[in-house]
Amino acid sequence: MSPREAEWDLVVIGAGPAGSAAAIAAMRADRSAKVLLLDAAAFPRAKARGDGIAPHAMDLLADLGVDVAELTAGSEPVSRLRLVSPGGVRFARPFTRPAFVVPRRVLDLRLVQAAQAAGAVLRRHRVRRLRPTDPCGSHRRRHPRPHGRRRGWRGETAPRTSATAKSSAPCRRPGRT
Ligand SMILES: Cc1cc2nc3c(=O)[nH]c(=O)nc-3n(C[C@H](O)[C@H](O)[C@H](O)COP(=O)(O)OP(=O)(O)OC[C@H]3O[C@@H](n4cnc5c(N)ncnc54)[C@H](O)[C@@H]3O)c2cc1C
């Protein structure tokens, strides 16, 4: 099946922490869902960030079934915060719960791998434009959905490739409610 012909239940653009978590959540909601994760970059990829991860983020990921110990492997928990201003003012406090520092090159790779392990398909594509397709148009659905037909979107990812997905908005034909 070529990318142009592929029909996906969900296409997530960007496989950073938000995109990977969205793909994992979708796969958890429906294990049979066809979820495509697109990213312009090849993983692992670097990110200029502080690399700190708050425990609340870990809670959310754990709720999605992500193995947090695996995600933070090799990183020591950080239990104190110390700030020093350019003027020399110092501030130090213990965290109520430990945080982690994991390089984004490592963290994002692990997360995208967790999304793949959950069943999402990762492809390297830069999405350039999104346009809605005919909401009641020619999309053929192989498996009827209980919620009826859905509006379609076509994402133009790169020359000669594209992917379609259904949004959550139901298709409404004129004269119907
Ligand atoms: C300087 C700095 C320091 C930070 N430090 C911290 C920190 O210490 N701790 C913390 O928790 N947060 C930190 N943040 C915030 C954190 O980086 C972001 O909240 C987080 O990266 C957002 O995740 P995301 O998945 O939404 O986006 P991103 O991580 O930016 O991922 C977006 C992905 O989408 C892809 N993409 C973009 N456009 C397209 C396209 N058109 N087609 C296909 N793919 C595309 C990109 O390649 C990328 O992989 C920091 C931010 C900055 C700027």
C-alpha 118 to ligand 1 mean position (Å): 22
CATH of 7-51+103-170, picked from 3.40.50.720, 3.40.50.2300, 1.10.3090.10, 3.50.50.60, is 3.50.50.60
User: What pLDDT is recorded for position 135?
Assistant: 61
Q: For atom 50 of ligand 1, which residue has the closest CA?
A: 49
- Pick the atom of ligand 1 nearest to 108's CA: 29
Exposed (0-12), middle (13-18) or buried (19+): which is 109, by Cβ within 10 Å? middle
Cβ neighbors of 83 (< 8 A, separation 6 or more) are 90, 91, 92
| Interatomic CA distance for residues 171 and 177, integer angstroms | 10
Q: pLDDT band at 124, cuts 50/70/90?
A: very high
pLDDT, tens only, 79-114: 999 999 999 999 999 999 999 999 999 999 999 999
Domain spans in the chain, listed from the N-terminal domain onward: 7-51+103-170
- Cα of 119 vs centre of ligand 1, distance in Å, is 23
**Measured from the CB, is residue 81 less than 6 Å from ligand 1?**
no
* Pairwise CA distance, residues 143 & 69, whole Å: 38
